[in-house]
Amino acid sequence: MTPNEFLQAAITTPSPSGYEEPIQRLIRQYLDPHTQEVSIDVHGNLTATVGDQAGPRLMLAGHCDQIGMLISHIDDDGFLYAQTIGGWDPQQLVGQSMTIWTAGGPVAAVISRKPIHLLSSSEREQVVKLEELWLDMGATSADEAKAGVRVGDPVTLDLKYRPLLGDRVSGPGMDNKTGMWTVMEAIRRCAVELKQHPLACQLHSVATVQEEIGLRGAKTAAARIDPHVAIAVDVTHASDCPTIDKNRQGNIRLGGGPVIYRGPNINAKVAARLIELAEANGIDYQLAAIGRAAPNDSNALQISGAGVATGLVAIPNRYMHSAVETISLSDIEQIAKLLTLFAQNLTSDCDFIPG
């Protein structure tokens, strides 16, 4: 499986928070031929390991879970109702093709609401509410629906990988299967290049789980690995499209390269080292600032145990938490390169103590 085939397979593999087993099987299949060890913990985090056990422990974290839904009720007519997993804008769900992931396999469904022709004037002026939406799998009764679907089955948007012009690609789950791809591609490259570039650190690349519902996997994985240094990779809002305020979000462009964050959640020396490596190796990068604890795995990593020197690298992403999330392939390629260089240059002499 090539790196690009792995990315495409990841985007089309379901992984709602708490239901990440299918994508973890895919990651293990991809990495088993290359790394010293691939393991899955009781929480579901997948960790691939390579390098010197006597060196500093470096943890690269990219969450593999995506937002989704969860079947919560089947009515007498066979229509399905669902809770959300993660942060949804209900407007994004109206009229979407969906897939219910059951024990017997995927079941096609559509999600919609009352047609516009039947909405009252006041209803037309209101934002749709989640409870006004339902899933239709084509069943004619509750018994027919329950023969294939159970309460607690996860649901995703129709998972597609769609190339656009140039190196742009679109689909649901770019948040954060692209980040997961970068940390797994980095460890694959480190493993393949081990003879030419021996690692002086022990590298742990982790596909963390349940980030979308509270950074849960990063907390447990960091407690187990006890890293000295950690870098989280996640998506960030691209501001190079209409209606996004660059004064608030910064000038973040698809194709502009890795977004390296600075701020109180970030170890200043880790950020400086990432910038130094990018500049020394011809990697275009973008800077971003965050003045609070980040809403991603870097938050949990920084305060794990007695504290971890933490960095945050992000992938510009348009239309986050929608069916048409859009990224640039060159950005994730450059991030994989940067992470590989960081691992290959990390030694026991590196000092990340502030000051």
The SS3 of residue 77 is coil
Would strands 105-112 and 96-102 be described as parallel, antiparallel, or unpaired? antiparallel
- Tell me the H-state helices in 250-344: 268-280, 297-302, 329-344
Q: Are 155 and 16 in contact (CB under 8 A)?
A: yes
Q: Which residues have C-beta within 8 Å of that of residue 226, sequence separation ≥ 6?
A: 57, 304, 305
Q: Are 237 and 252 in contact (CB under 8 A)?
A: yes
Phi-psi region of 105 (alpha: psi -120 to 50; beta: other; left: phi over 0): left
Q: Which of 20, 185, 211, 325 is catalytic?
A: 211
To the query of whether residue 211 is one of the catalytic residues in this protein, the response is yes
Rounded distance between C-alpha atoms, residue 82 and residue 306, angstroms = 40
Buried b (16+ CB within 10 A) or exposed e, 315-331: bbbbbbbbbebbbbbbb
Residues assigned a catalytic role: 211
